[in-house]
Structure 1
Amino acid sequence: MPALPAAEASLQARAVANVAEAFRRLTRHDPRGAIEEADGLTTIATSIPYPLFNAAFLERPVTDAEALAARVRRFYARAGVPGLLLAEDAAAAERAAPLVHAAELAPGEPIPGMLLAPIPDPPRAPDGLDIRVVDDPDTLRVYNDTLAAVFGMPRAWLAVLDDPATLRLHDFAFYLGLLDGVPVGTSMRFTGHRIAGIYNVATLPTYRRRGIGAALTWRAAIDGRDEGCLASALQASAEGFPVYARMGYCHVTDYQTWVIAPTGASAEATPAPGGQP
């Protein structure tokens, strides 16, 4: 992609930092979570065996690719979960190339990174849609039920997020959409680096194409704006991309991805955290 203007590049750098910090915060919340940071490489593992929940980021050039590859393999073998190496742009992908080669990582699908700046006033939400901030344990379980159903995950994978302490995670907000009282969709916001990072936008298949995913995204973004965010950022699935583009989000980068399989196992790339509007 062409180079971004300076102002937009600055916001995108904040958005990348938002992604990394969101992963770190959620992982620290997980009793089985692990984070290792050394030699410019951050590896993250949660108890959820889904690559996108177990991200790795490389922040500086590789000096010893074989040693770094061995470290990556050991980390995810110990954790027993697949990981996903993320490179936020072409320069980061070039930086990661020696590690990718040495570790023989399988390429995953690129994930479009999108940015909305400034955050405008939203359109009217669909009739009958009630978007609630999740603030009690029962609603949190319904949120996780809905998220697991949309992503096609075993419900047990999200059990760690049923902990009421999830509701006290600083700078996070969870949203549940109900259409005529029926839970139909979710979104999540992490506010960091003055960016409203939007994650877990998910709508049950039978309720798609009604503006529900967009409305859940708008609510999270506007609440971020009210907290002083300069922009909203997200990583889009193929299904979500046109929805976000119509909302005004600009395609500013493509995150390159590589799957890190734990020893003796295989893994597949996963949908983007923008989910399924």
Structure 2
Amino acid sequence: MTPPVSLSAVNTNTPADRAARAWLDVHGALAATQPNGYLHLSPTGTAELVTGTQIPVLNGVIAVTRAPDAGEIAGAANSSRFEGLPWSLRVRGEAVDNRIAAVAAAHGLEPRRPLPFMLRELTAADAAPVPGARRVTGAESAAYQRALAAGFDAPLDGMAIFAHPRLLDHPSMSAYLIERGGEPVATAFAAHSGDLVGIFNIAVLPPFRRQGFGRAATAAVLSDAYAKGARTAFLHSTTDGRPLYDHMGFHLAENWTIFT
């Protein structure tokens, strides 16, 4: 198991650059909670991430610089640590170097798709409490896992990595449930890196969709994060989730490209 890597010396220091490094920081922290977790970062910003899960976006090669090194990416893609695991390759931006696309194709990582990377500055207004929201501890991992599976319409076992007590009780991470009448209706997860917070696992259980609970789950993260000192939030949005985040004041910083 490899500890999280500091990325402060990699690349430039625009808000998107800082958020990209924070994104990798929190994924390194995730890997560090797993028995076979691993993160290696090259001096020029090519990362090899392994969590050991069967979710391809949580294993793979990630370039967090604006000008990724195709040779480094090719070398990292040959890592034996990916054997037996589904994995992905992701880079920042949409204009992907043909040599990098060729590396992805050589490893059967097709098709490619864009990943909107969105940012939002936090203000004191975000500190308002969210009715029905509460933080989940490791003692409630089973209930949180069930809610995640229902919210994502996913197999229960596939959500285990996101609900492990080591993750829920991690000092830089927080899991949340939105409840109505004592029953879960939505989930959220936050991971902190300095004064930035990443938002993940916003999911609403099927009977409660389109009733504002996705917004409430996101607001719960922002409220708690502001109280903890976060001043910028970042997330990757799905196509379906994009209108919600636009309405909540997030803006598109850049698109990333992922090959799976």
TM norm structure 2? 0.82
Shift of 1:120: 5.6
The 1:162–1:212 alpha-carbon spacing in structure 2 relative to 1, beyond 3 Å, is closer
The 1:108–1:184 alpha-carbon spacing in structure 2 relative to 1, beyond 3 Å, is farther
Q: Deviations over 1:133-153 (max 9, x none)?
A: 01241x222111111222233
What is the distance in 1 between the residues matched to 2:115 and 2:189? 18
Shift of 1:89: 2.0
Shift of 1:163: 3.9
1:229 is matched with which residue? Answer: 230
Q: Deviations over 1:145-185 (max 9, x none)?
A: 11122223321233345543323312101101111111111
What is the distance in 2 between the residues matched to 1:163 and 1:51? 18
What is the distance in 2 between the residues matched to 1:241 and 1:207? 19
1:44 is matched with which residue? Answer: 49
Structure 2, gaps ≥5 residues long: 1-12
Aligned match of 1:75 in 51, 71, 81? 81
1:23 paired to 2:24: no
Q: Deviations over 1:94-147 (max 9, x none)?
A: 3xx423303413133211111112446259888xx511101241x222111111
1:185 is matched with which residue? Answer: 186
Shift of 1:187: 0.5
What are the equivalent positions in structure 2 for 1:6-21 lying under 5 Å apart? 10-21=14-25
1:131 is matched with which residue? Answer: 133
1:172 is matched with which residue? Answer: 173
The 1:67–1:162 alpha-carbon spacing in structure 2 relative to 1, beyond 3 Å, is closer
The 1:111–1:169 alpha-carbon spacing in structure 2 relative to 1, beyond 3 Å, is same
**Contact 1:199-1:234 within 8 A present in 2 as well:** yes
What is the distance in 2 between the residues matched to 1:66 and 1:197? 28
The 1:179–1:55 alpha-carbon spacing in structure 2 relative to 1, beyond 3 Å, is farther
Q: Deviations over 1:221-259 (max 9, x none)?
A: 122122222211111111111011111111121111011
What is the distance in 2 between the residues matched to 1:203 and 1:20? 26
SS at match of 1:110: strand
**Contact 2:137-2:169 within 8 A present in 1 as well:** no
What is the distance in 2 between the residues matched to 1:255 and 1:83? 16
What are the equivalent positions in structure 2 for 1:224-263 lying under 5 Å apart? 224-259=225-260
**Contact 1:196-1:232 within 8 A present in 2 as well:** yes
User: Which has the higher mean CA deviation after the structures are superposed, 56-65 or 227-236?
Assistant: 56-65
Query: What fraction of aligned residue pairs are identical, expressed as a percent?
Result: 24
What is the distance in 1 between the residues matched to 2:114 and 2:192? 24
User: Which has the higher mean CA deviation after the structures are superposed, 153-162 or 190-199?
Assistant: 153-162
Aligned match of 1:87 in 73, 80, 91? 91
User: Which has the higher mean CA deviation after the structures are superposed, 46-55 or 32-41?
Assistant: 32-41
The 1:65–1:232 alpha-carbon spacing in structure 2 relative to 1, beyond 3 Å, is closer
- Name which structure has the greater RCO, CA cutoff 8 Å, separation 6+: 1
Shift of 1:43: 1.8
The 1:216–1:63 alpha-carbon spacing in structure 2 relative to 1, beyond 3 Å, is same
The 1:228–1:202 alpha-carbon spacing in structure 2 relative to 1, beyond 3 Å, is same
Shift of 1:66: 5.2
What is the distance in 1 between the residues matched to 2:235 and 2:163? 24
What is the distance in 2 between the residues matched to 1:65 and 1:29? 25
What is the distance in 2 between the residues matched to 1:163 and 1:56? 24
**Contact 2:113-2:257 within 8 A present in 1 as well:** yes
Shift of 1:56: 2.3
**Contact 1:14-1:193 within 8 A present in 2 as well:** no
1:265 is matched with which residue? Answer: none
SS at match of 2:211: coil
1:35 paired to 2:36: no
- Counterpart code for 2:78: A
The 1:64–1:87 alpha-carbon spacing in structure 2 relative to 1, beyond 3 Å, is closer
The number of residues matched between the two structures is 241
1:114 paired to 2:118: yes
